[in-house]
Amino acid sequence: MAQIDILSLSLEELTSEICVMGEKGFRAKQIFDWLHVKKINDFSQMSNISAQFRGELSKKFCLNHLIIKKRLVSRVDNTVKYLYGLKDGGAVESVLMEYNHGNSLCVSTQVGCKMGCEFCASTIAGWVRNLEPSEILGQIYESERDSGKPVDSVVLMGIGEPLDNFDNVVKFLRILSESGFSLRRVSLSTCGVVDKIYELAELKLGVTLSVSLHAATDEKRSAIMPINRRFDLNTLMRACDDYFDKTGRRISFEYSLIEGVNDGDDSADELIRLLGGKNCHINLIPVNEVKEREFRKSKSVLRFQKRLNAAGLNATVRRTLGADINAACGQLRRDDLFNS
């Protein structure tokens, strides 16, 4: 019989598995703590569990961990970019960033991506598979082990579309929350999978929703983000309003500025028309140049920001971290695929 991936079990699921093995429910809580609070990586380290039961556990369950294939450390600001190997040979990326308010880890949710955004490196070679909850958690645990720094906040902004792996991402969030990590310290970024935004709002998990907007008219957005041909801006904005109404969490809109595509005064005015009066935050990001793509960084980021601010919009320019290792999202995995 195939072994069960123990790190992907919620406390409730783990409890029923442990009870089936004839042990009391409190054992499950002890094991859960070893896995998700003390974050051990071998059953033998569970010192308050008998050796005999540890033996049974290691037959029934597997305890997967990720392998660091590559680690790039920024000399400018200590940002660390990891390329993690998965047990089927795939690879994903995480980025550990130091902010004044603590350490933030950007994690991947899929191997590759099927969303097809024109400017993104993660989607060029398509989608391979969804990550398991254990593989999303593993990115946090391995980066903590490797760096010796606790992860204080998590952003689901690495490779993949989190809402296209909805069930595993929600399970990941539940386990994270059961381990004592407040989901208020988690941001989930989506290109705009509207039906799943509604489902997420219903769950009231408390996560911040980041919406990758990048253009404020259907014509411009559909040209760079295929998802907009499925869910247009009107439909997306209604889902965002619903998320805010149901959760009370202010939406954060991501807007990567691409020279000549979405960085002119006309684009700023379109964004003002779309978001004016909404209780939201706009994150402006100079686009990361991807070597396979033609897009160039905008030279008018500050001009764009000023125009939004003058109209009363809350827009900030994201601080660039790890500029010297700033391979665009998905680029490290692509280089690895290409060279192996």
Catalytic residues: 93, 329
Spatial separation of the C-alpha atoms in residues 297 and 223, rounded to whole Å: 18
Tokens linked to 138? 């593993």
Question: Interface with ligand SAH includes 127 (CB under 6 A)?
Answer: no
- Residue 248's CB is within 10 A of a number of other CB atoms, namely 10
Spatial separation of the C-alpha atoms in residues 215 and 224, rounded to whole Å: 8
Question: Interface with ligand SAH includes 154 (CB under 6 A)?
Answer: no
DSSP assigned state of 264: S
Question: Interface with ligand SAH includes 139 (CB under 6 A)?
Answer: no
Closer residue to ligand SAH, CB minimum distance, 66 or 155: 155
Question: Interface with ligand SAH includes 191 (CB under 6 A)?
Answer: yes
Binding region for ligand SAH (CB under 6 A) out of 61-69, 72-80, 280-288, 311-319 = 280-288
Least separation in angstroms between residue 237's CB and ligand SAH is 16
Binding region for ligand SAH (CB under 6 A) out of 131-139, 145-153, 172-180, 283-291 = 283-291
In this chain, which of 57, 285, 313, 325 binds ligand SAH, going by CB under 6 A? 285
Least separation in angstroms between residue 105's CB and ligand SAH is 14
- Residue 101's CB is within 10 A of a number of other CB atoms, namely 9
Three-state SS string over 183-247 comes to HHHEEEEECCCHHHHHHHHHHCCCCEEEEECCCCCHHHHHHHCCHHHHCCHHHHHHHHHHHHHHH
- Phi, psi of 153, deg, nearest 5: -145, 155
Residue closest to 117 by CA, chosen among 226, 11, 275, 213: 226
Number of residues that bind ligand SAH (CB under 6 A): 18
Question: Interface with ligand SAH includes 93 (CB under 6 A)?
Answer: no
Q: Which residue type occupies 305?
A: Q
Query: Which residue has tokens 């999303």?
Result: 136
CA distances from 203 to 20, 103, 170 (A): 29, 26, 9
CB 77 within 8 A of CB 328: no
In this chain, which of 8, 64, 94, 288 binds ligand SAH, going by CB under 6 A? 288
Closer residue to ligand SAH, CB minimum distance, 7 or 159: 159
Binding pattern for the stretch 56-75 against ligand SAH, x by CB under 6 A and - elsewhere = --------------------
Tokens linked to 141? 């645990």
Spatial separation of the C-alpha atoms in residues 56 and 73, rounded to whole Å: 40
Binding region for ligand SAH (CB under 6 A) out of 81-89, 139-147, 169-177, 187-195 = 187-195
Site residues (CB under 6 A) for ligand SAH, limited to 98-117:
115, 117
Binding region for ligand SAH (CB under 6 A) out of 34-42, 71-79, 188-196, 305-313 = 188-196
| Dihedral class, residue 160 (left if φ above 0, else alpha if ψ from -120 to 50, else beta) | left
Question: Interface with ligand SAH includes 136 (CB under 6 A)?
Answer: no
Residues near ligand SAH (CB under 6 A): 115, 117, 119-120, 157, 161, 189-191, 212, 254, 256, 285, 287-288, 290, 328-329
